[in-house]
Chain A
Amino acid sequence: MKSLQDLERIRLKAQERMRVREGEGATKIAVGMGTCGIAAGARDVMAAILDEVAKRKLADVTVTQTGCVGLCEYEPLVDVILPGQQKVTYARVDADKARQIVARHVVNRQIIGDWVLARS
């Protein structure tokens, strides 16, 4: 590092990586990671979501996982909770759909009606 600007650059990058430790973000995305979810491909979905969130530098988003909720035939399930809004559950998500959910629902705040299983 040769200047304050160099420090600033490293700081911003490292902060992004450490954000998880500041607590839960206002927006939550949860992937069903029960045995059923994983069998249906939840792992790829998770990887795609993490990648998309990182690429778009989404600061206030927490990605977590849930267990089996008894809707195994609809897995992989993805829940999206925007601040102050109902939980929206998407069914039969794949990696491609997952990326679109991040882009359209989380970033542009438009629920993708066709894929929704439930709202609660």
Chain B
Amino acid sequence: MQQYRAHVLVCGGTGCVSSGCHAVKEALLEGLKTHDLADEVLVVKTGCMGPCDMGPLIVVYPEGVLYRQLTPESALRIVEEHLLKGRVVEDLVYRTENLKPVPVLEEISFFSRQTRIALRNTGLIDPESIEEYIARDGYLALARVLQQGDPEAVIAEVKKSGLRGRGGGGFPTGLKWEFTARAPGQPKYLVCNADEGDPGAFMDRSILEGDPHSVLEAMAIAGFAVGANQGYVYVRAEYPLAVQRLSVAIEQARRYGTLGSNIFGTGFDFDVEIRVGAGAFVCGEETALLASIEGKRGEPRPRPPFPATEGLWGKPTLINNVETFANIPPIILGGGESFASIGAEKSKGTKVFALAGKIRNTGLVEVPMGITLREIIYDIGGGIPDGKKFKAAQIGGPSGGCIPAPCLDVPVDYESMAELGTMMGSGGLVIMDEDTCMVDVAKFFIEFCKDESCGKCAPCRIGVKRMLETLERITTGEGREGDLELLEELGQQIKDSALCGLGQTAPNPVLSTIRYFREEYEAHVRDKCCPAKVCKALLEYRILADVCVGCGACKKACPVGAIMGERRQPHEINTAVCTRCGACVEACRFDAIVR
């Protein structure tokens, strides 16, 4: 095998694909060819490295220098300077807030504060090369498990690790495996839930795109442990890159004999097929997902019976999330105890979060459980940009809730999140600053749930719609006394009576924002005012007469002719005509227009 003196890793996650990593990679290859370096320097396309706002980005090894926001032109400079002459190109490396260059990846706090287990290979290997996965101890756990030949020992190890489901529910994984193993009925099936419907979440997608073999290996291990020979990965059609890389991985695994019949010569057979879903949020719910795989409508059904006893085609079925699976090979190789030494009391190991919103470093991060939100937001995420103040963190997507500033030091684990009225969820973490209206946020999530409700049960189909209507009234200045109490009562009843997790958690964003930001709701209801100045209907645009010079720029910009005034005289806005589009504010060079 050829030895290269340098490896250039080009991030090929979906984020970087859209910011132009293909052109950067082409430029690198072209440059290496021109300078006759193609035999010395290897270019590898990896999965998502995490810091999506820095894309397109590359890391040059052995030095481990990270270059970011590249163009084909700057990529050529890296070839000419770094790869040819060994000089780091200072102006293309990462810089801290006070502009200090930090070329080496391991010293950038975004990376150095993370603990990577599920993402151990993501961004570091070529996801389309099974050999690179094997080099990182890939398929070693499977080989050991099969050679040992004791399914109960595998389940015992997973139980010891304390691993809990990363798909949102947080159910102990080892127990679920045990239930499925003990359930009567043959054949048994295995399902990997890669539906990932939370808006803004992309943890599972990144694992499938960056390290698909880790999921396949874990599925084979789980199959052996519970006695299943057939697995399905349920992915949404909106994830074409994940589907493609997974297909390549399955094909390679079959060729290398880590999937198929008689794996490692031990007589164990296991194979995996992909099922592509149309991308409905409710199809992430396990019973709806199983119905969808069977070719039926993706609607939940009451549990019990749980899938562990009656799943696909009525047979015992183990269903786990992508990230849950990705943790399995390290648990087998390193032992359950060592995994359990990471994290919090009842929440072991790490969690991957998709950081988004008003935060300096957006992207994918994996942190030990029990870390505080403050550490995630300020140490890893780099804090809030533009000198704005932190207002709330939305965790757990549409099923979760909002955490206010006074709770920033609460540890992030399953129990603490539940106490705060939210949930760990699957890993969506949206940071909001002072310019965010919490009523508007609650409305956004409840609207999402209304759209995604399957309509099977009344509390969710009708109740969630009523909650949305009430919020719409509040945000348009039609709020009435008693609305908040109504929302609280209705929310609680939906939580108690809806059939599936979608309805049971849909009120969370509303209830948690009422709990922590009640004054903001009251300002909307009583004073017909949106303190964050987001809810359009509650805004009133006004021109400050002593600042206005009468230039007329606003008058020209207003699309509905709501502005009146003579030249050189202070202008005025006719609020009856004004549609609150904000065009005049943009147009005014004197900051004379206020809301």
Contact = CB atoms under 8 A, between A and B. Distances in A.
A50 B62 contact: no
A7 B40 contact: no
A21 B3 contact: no
A79 B498 CA distance: 72
B3 A54 contact: yes
Return the 6 tightest CB-CB contacts between A and B, nearest first. A67-B85, A54-B3, A14-B135, A63-B5, A65-B86, A14-B131
Interface of B: 1-7, 9, 36, 39-40, 42, 61-64, 83-87, 124-125, 131-132, 134-137, 139-140, 143-144, 147, 256-258, 264-265
Nearest to B3: A54
Given A20-B61, A65-B85, A50 B131 contact: no
Say what secondary structure dominates the interface of chain B: loop
B85 A34 contact: yes
Contacts of A24: 62-63
Interface of A: 1-4, 7, 10-11, 13-18, 20-25, 30, 33-34, 43, 46-47, 50-51, 53-54, 62-68
Contacts of A1: 256-258, 264
Nearest to B83: A65
Given A33-B85, A67-B86, A17 B256 contact: no
Given A4-B143, A10-B134, A62-B62, A17 B86 contact: no
30 contacts: A1-B256, A1-B258, A1-B264, A3-B264, A4-B147, A4-B264, A7-B143, A10-B131, A11-B140, A13-B1, A14-B1, A14-B131, A14-B135, A16-B1, A17-B1, A17-B2, A20-B61, A21-B7, A21-B9, A23-B62, A25-B62, A34-B85, A47-B39, A62-B5, A63-B5, A64-B6, A65-B5, A66-B85, A66-B86, A67-B87
A64 B140 contact: no
A37 to B, nearest CB: 9
A21 B86 CA distance: 16
B7 A7 contact: no
B132 A11 contact: no
Contacts, number: 101
Contacts of B132: 14, 18
Contacts of A67: 84-87
A2 B137 contact: no
A67 B83 CA distance: 10
A76 to B, nearest CB: 14
Given A2-B265, A33-B86, A46-B40, A20 B135 contact: no
Contact of A3 (B2, B5, B265): B265
A99 B252 CA distance: 38
Nearest to A17: B1
Nearest to A46: B40
Given A64-B63, A65-B84, 12 more contacts: A7-B139, A11-B140, A14-B131, A14-B135, A20-B42, A21-B7, A22-B62, A23-B61, A23-B64, A33-B84, A64-B62, A67-B85
Contacts of B36: 43
A64 B62 CA distance: 9
Among B5, B6, B140: residue with most chain A CB under 10 A: B5
A34 B42 CA distance: 20
A33 B79 CA distance: 12
Contacts of A34: 85
A50 B7 contact: no
Nearest to B84: A33
